[in-house]
Amino acid sequence: MPKSKQADSHKRPLSRKLIDKLVAERQQMLVLLWELSKLDLSQADETVLSTLDDFQEILVDYIAAGHFGLYQRIIEGNERRQAVLNTAAEIYSRIEQSTDVAVEFSERYDAPEAALIEAKLSADLSRLGEVVTTRIELEDSLILALLDGDYAIPPAQAGI
C-alpha cells in the first residue's frame, strides 16, 4: 500500500471503526434477509419464526449502528468537512424514511400472529428489501465522503 494511502487509512480511525461495524451488521442483516426469502413464508413454522426473530434483531442493530454511530456525529454538528455535510444533507431525509420503514417492520413483527406472517410477511419483506437497498446506496455515498473516497465495498461472502 502506498505511504499516502496508509496514512489516510489511519487518519480517521473512529470513523473507520463505526463504518466497519455498520458494514458488518449490514452484511449479517442481508444474509438473514436472504435466508428468510428462501423459506416458505405461507406457513409460520418454527424455522420462519426463529429466522424472523434473528433478522429483526440484526435489523434493529444495523439501523442503530447507522443512526447512533455514523450519523450521530453529523447530527450533533461535530463534522466539519464540507463534502460530508453536503452528502449528509442530500441523503439524510431518505435515510430517515428508511429508518421509519425498518422500525415499522420491526414493530409489526415483534410478536406476530401466524395469520399476519402467512398473509403479509412476504410482501413486507419485499418492500423492506427495496428500502434497504436504497439505504445501502445512500450509506455508501456517505461512507465515501467520510473516508475521502478511500473505501471499497467488502466482497460478498461465499454462499450468499
Mean pLDDT of the region 117-139: 96
pTM above 0.75, yes or no: yes
Q: What is the pLDDT of residue 50?
A: 96
- In angstroms, the Cα distances linking 38 to 46, 112, 128 are 15, 19, 15
Cβ of 39: how many Cβ atoms within 10 Å?
Answer: 15
Between 7 and 22, the higher pLDDT residue: 22
CATH class of 13-146: mainly alpha
Query: Residue 127 — pLDDT band, cuts 50, 70, 90?
Result: very high
Q: Which of 63, 69, 71 is nearest to 104 (CA)?
A: 63
pLDDT category of residue 69 using cuts at 50, 70 and 90: confident
The pLDDT value recorded for residue 150 is 58
pLDDT class for 16, splitting at 50, 70, 90?
confident
- Domain residue limits, the chain: 13-146
Residue 153 confidence (pLDDT)? 54
81, 145 Cβ separation under 8 angstroms? yes
pLDDT at 4 over 60: no
Of 92, 62, 91, nearest to 75 by C-alpha is 92
- The pLDDT value recorded for residue 74 is 83
Q: pLDDT at position 71, please? A: 84
